[in-house]
Amino acid sequence: MASLREQMPEVAAFIDEVRQRWPRALVDRQIKAGLAGKGSFYAATLQADGTVLEVGSTHDRARAHAQAGELLWSPRLGIGWVVPEPRHLWKPQK
């Protein structure tokens, strides 16, 4: 089975970039807390087979889901919108 880094390369690249800007221990602590269900880190990617691969948790338990070949965000209000890819949220400095 492939590692999460291999399964979620854009998320891994985003995390690597964040680790360059903030203390690695801080970033890793937030990721670990999210993985433990504390809502401080959540990532989702749409896989080639149309399934959603998710890791972590959100504070309000909202999550992404697949619909018509797109990854949609579904907050608790039930309204969905297309999830931007990490490169749209973070612009790495060159």
Spans of all domains in the chain: 4-89
* Residue 6: C-alpha distances to residues 3, 38, 68 (Å): 5, 24, 24
**% of the chain exceeding 90 in pLDDT:** 22
Select the more confidently predicted residue: 43 or 62.
Answer: 43
Q: What is the mean pLDDT of residues 28-53?
A: 90
pLDDT at 90 over 60: no
**Mean pLDDT for the chain?**
79
Q: Is 14 left (phi over 0), alpha (psi -120 to 50) or beta?
A: alpha
Identify the pLDDT of residue 26: 93
Q: What is the mean pLDDT of residues 69-79?
A: 68
Identify the pLDDT of residue 31: 92
